[in-house]
Amino acid sequence: MSPTIQERPDLDQIPVAKRPATSPPPRPQTWILKVIMATTGSIFILFLLFHLAGNLKVYLPDDPQGHFNEYAHWLRTLLNPLVPGSTFLWAFRAVMVLALCLHVYSGLTLWIRAHRLRGRHARKVHSTKHHLTGRTMLWSGLIILSFIIFHLLDLTIGRAVESKEFSTKATYTLHDGTVVTDAYSNLIHSFERAPVAIFYVVVMIVIAFHLSHGIWSIINDFGGTAHRTRMVFLFLADLIALIVVIGNASIPLAVLAGGLTL
Footprint of ligand HEM (CB under 6 A):
51, 55, 72, 75, 93, 144, 148, 151-152, 155-156, 181, 183, 187, 200, 207, 248, 251-252
Q: Nearest-CA neighbor of 50 among 198, 231, 240?
A: 240
Q: Min. distance of Cβ 144 from ligand HEM in angstroms?
A: 6
Contact by Cβ (8 Å): 20, 10? no
Q: Min. distance of Cβ 183 from ligand HEM in angstroms?
A: 4
Closer to ligand HEM by Cβ: residue 150 or 230:
150
Closer to ligand HEM by Cβ: residue 36 or 48:
48
Q: Min. distance of Cβ 251 from ligand HEM in angstroms?
A: 5
Closer to ligand HEM by Cβ: residue 39 or 55:
55
Closer to ligand HEM by Cβ: residue 30 or 143:
143
C-alpha pair distances (Å), 222 with each of 145, 211, 233: 25, 16, 12
Q: Min. distance of Cβ 81 from ligand HEM in angstroms?
A: 20
Q: Min. distance of Cβ 66 from ligand HEM in angstroms?
A: 14
Closer to ligand HEM by Cβ: residue 183 or 230:
183
Q: Min. distance of Cβ 259 from ligand HEM in angstroms?
A: 14
Closer to ligand HEM by Cβ: residue 107 or 252:
252
- DSSP readout, the chain? -PPPSTT-HHHHHS-GGGSPPSSPPPSS-HHHHHHHHHHHHHHHHHHHHHHHHHHGGGG-SS-HHHHHHHHHHHHHTTTTTTS-TTHHHHHHHHHHHHHHHHHHHHHHHHHHHHHHHHTT-PPPPP-SHHHHHHHTHHHHHHHHHHHHHHHIIIIII-GGG--SS--TT-EEE-TTS-EEE-HHHHHHHHHTSHHHHHHHHHHHHHHHHHHHHHHHHHHHHTT--SHHHHHHHHHHHHHHHHHHHHHHHHHHHHHHTTSS--
Q: Min. distance of Cβ 242 from ligand HEM in angstroms?
A: 14
Closer to ligand HEM by Cβ: residue 88 or 230:
88
Q: Is 248 left (phi over 0), alpha (psi -120 to 50) or beta?
A: alpha
